[in-house]
Amino acid sequence: MRAFFQSVLGLAFGGFFLWLALRMVGSDELLQAVSVVQLHWIGVALCIFAVDMALRVKRWQFLLSDTVKLSNGQVAKALIIGYMVNNLLPARLGEIYRADFVKRHYGGSRSSVLGTIVVERLLDGFAVVLSLSLGLLVLYVSRGIDSPVLTTLAIVAALGCTAAFGAVFWFHKLNWLFRQIPWSWLTSRLEDFSLALQALKMPGFHYPIILTGLIYMLEALVLWAALTAAGIDVGLAGVLIVLGTAVLSTLLPTAPGYVGSLQIAYIFALAPFGYEAPQAFIAATISQVFLAGSLIVTGLLIMFYMNVKRLAVRHVS
């Protein structure tokens, strides 16, 4: 019931944001923005995006190492399929599906795997807040432009990340409370989840931190190439602001593929640089169709291959 409510809420928000974005975009201006799209820059973005995903695989593999030992290929399958589900279904259900996928195919505890995903997303959260804050600082210093809306967003996001970090860091202190729960199955799951969160304190945790920095450098390059494909040139400040705003917009309840909310995020993020809504709309759509779309296609192909392989094994046996 909760998932159904989140899905309905996401579709409602997504529909509203898409309606709002379309109200800002005239058909003639939209066609003009489409006409200047440079496909070769989309190809560049996709190539960088592939390297970005490879680093994400290595980061999650490290976080999983105390929970379940997986090969690069196994981690890649779970990660890409989880991201695919995130883009196809509302309410970020892909994170739960990813944990379930690992349990069903490779073993381990769903709760433990979900704990590693929480740590992974916490690292992403700090990187995104840092990107947005740095972008706003560069914009103010270089151009003297201040955006109260985006600054407020950065402050709220920073406070949220700090609170989340505190909750994750001290979650294990509640283990005594979990043991008072009369249902042993729930106690064991909460303790598994708590143990996985301790990845924050594991030796070598600087490794996923370094990987997160590299990942977001590549994310910035991917976004720069995608913006260039749409004929948008906003420099370092603009790329960081769009990156931070776009990623934070995905935390809202929204429609599949972040339709609507991502368009609005791009429109607000690019407004301080003088770009009109049609160009921002097209830039967001490029990210959805080509970047998110590549994850969806790859995820579907992986699932198709795994199903065919399983059927072949059953047929032989």
Tell me the average pLDDT across 239-247. Answer: 96
Kindly report the three-state secondary structure assignment for every residue of 283-303: HHHHHHHHHHHHHHHHHHHHH
In the structure, what pLDDT confidence band is assigned to residue 52 with cuts at 50, 70 and 90? very high
In the structure, what pLDDT confidence band is assigned to residue 13 with cuts at 50, 70 and 90? low
Torsion-angle region of 181 (φ positive above 0: left; ψ -120 to 50: alpha; else: beta): beta
Tell me the average pLDDT across 192-200. Answer: 74
Q: Please report the pLDDT score of residue 175 as a whole number.
A: 65
Alpha helices in 65-183 (DSSP H): 72-88, 94-106, 110-143, 148-170, 175-178
Alpha-carbon span 169 to 167, nearest angstrom? 6
Question: What angle separates helix 206-229 from helix 235-249, to the nearest 10 degrees?
Answer: 110
The 10s digit of each residue's pLDDT in 197-232 is 777 777 889 999 999 999 999 999 999 999 999 999
Please state, in angstroms and as integers, the Cα–Cα distance from residue 143 to each residue in 9, 81, 136, 234, 240, following that order: 39, 42, 10, 12, 15
Alpha-carbon span 139 to 134, nearest angstrom? 9
User: Would you say residue 73 has pLDDT above 90?
Assistant: yes
- Per-domain boundaries in the chain: 39-316
The 10s digit of each residue's pLDDT in 142-175 is 888 888 889 998 999 999 999 988 887 777 776 6
The 10s digit of each residue's pLDDT in 87-117 is 888 767 889 999 999 999 998 889 899 999 9
263-277 burial string, b = 16+ CB within 10 Å, else e? Answer: bbbbbbbbebbebbb
Amino acid identity for residue 257 in this structure: G
Q: Please report the pLDDT score of residue 313 as a whole number.
A: 79
Tell me the average pLDDT across 180-202. Answer: 70
Sequence-separated (6 or more) residues with CB below 8 Å from residue 9: 90, 91, 253
